Structure 1
Amino acid sequence: LVELEEGWHLYWRNSGDTGIPTSIEFGLPEGITVSEIQWPVPKVFEYDGLASFGYDKQVLLLTELIIPENYKSNSVLVIVKLKSLICKDVCIPFNTTVSKEIILKNNFPADNDVSTLFVEARKNLPEVKNDFELSIKPDEGFITLIIQSINPDLTKINSLYFLPYENGIFKNTDEQNYKVKDTSIELKLEYDHFKTEEMRELLGILVFQLDDPAQSKKVYEIKKQLNTNN
């Protein structure tokens, strides 16, 4: 959990036009591993035509300890090294190391405040399974995402954007062009003018901002091969 003072923010796994991506390294006993970091949906920070992706106020980055059945000790010492950059009017490096010994036992009682933090953090994770059909139409200088069989109702969407996991592929912006058609939505993504590598797979999150009091947004993780036969 990282808590930030008012006006400060740190960066997502893709920092965008400014900053550096946040990275995390784990020091663990032999045989213990961790799952991939589960990144909450970031905010888009726009300044002077530049768009960056990150978090303000507080952010909880989730992962899971994977402990083998034959692990002998009754505790695990976890060391976490976090490297990032925090920014307001200026930017300063944010590098910290923390450690925690976790006691392993059945029916371990969770603190209510900690449990609430985890519940709220999971609400802001992208959904891995989407409920729509996605095809990709490559073109010169951009690609078009064609989204069909979509839920929620098209009429409730007031904005839509895609945030890639990797920087330097698409132009970073806080606004992306999309068109709502009878049974689909088309979202145009412009390539970065300085892109040096061809993209083989579309990786990132698709964010639907909704005009719905019951649910302000829906976010899906996208992993799709890019080819001419989509």
Structure 2
Amino acid sequence: MPEARTTTPRERYRSQVRAEVKEHAWEQIAAAGASALSLNAIAKRMGMSGPALYRYFDGRDELITELVKDAYRSEADAFRAAAEAGADLAGLAHVLRGWALDDPQRYFLIHGTPVPGYRAPDDITEIAAETMAVIVDACAALPPDGTATAFDTHLDTHRRWAGSRPAPAPALHRALSFWSRLHGVLSLELAGQFTGMGFDPALLFAAELDDLLGR
């Protein structure tokens, strides 16, 4: 077994600074949104010059990429751990809601309005696909829920988004419904759109999930 690589004091310091920068970035996002992210403002908070901070991040897009990557990685790991523990589709739905409520800013960074002028690199798309793969597998494990629809037929030849998962088209349809409907409820809840309406968003989420599962 190869020996673990020992980091140098400089590498550890660099890692610590980058972690602190990301903490301040999350604070900025919580206060004004990702589009207002400013490395110069973060440098000022940390008592550094702007040019000094650019030794740790090349620019705003690299910082956003790190934050987005961390968020997708966290979500994918939560789904994978739940699936490995035996969670079914209903269990995964509750993992999604718990993960979203735990950190709404993290949720909105990857599932909210795209940051103007920013395009995520392909490796982030690959991480996001890990979560969908878990959902597709859970949907494929359920019994068929009726006759094929026109959209099922469409998905027979439009399934690139599902990667190499060997799921039938109705399972892919259910996976997309799971993703879009539950994210719709979560996005509205976290944005405060249900405030003052007098009902429990958790019960709405559960009702949508029951409908998806044909209960």
- TM-score calculated relative to the size of structure 2: 0.22
Q: More strand by proportion, 1 or 2?
A: 1
- TM-score calculated relative to the size of structure 1: 0.21
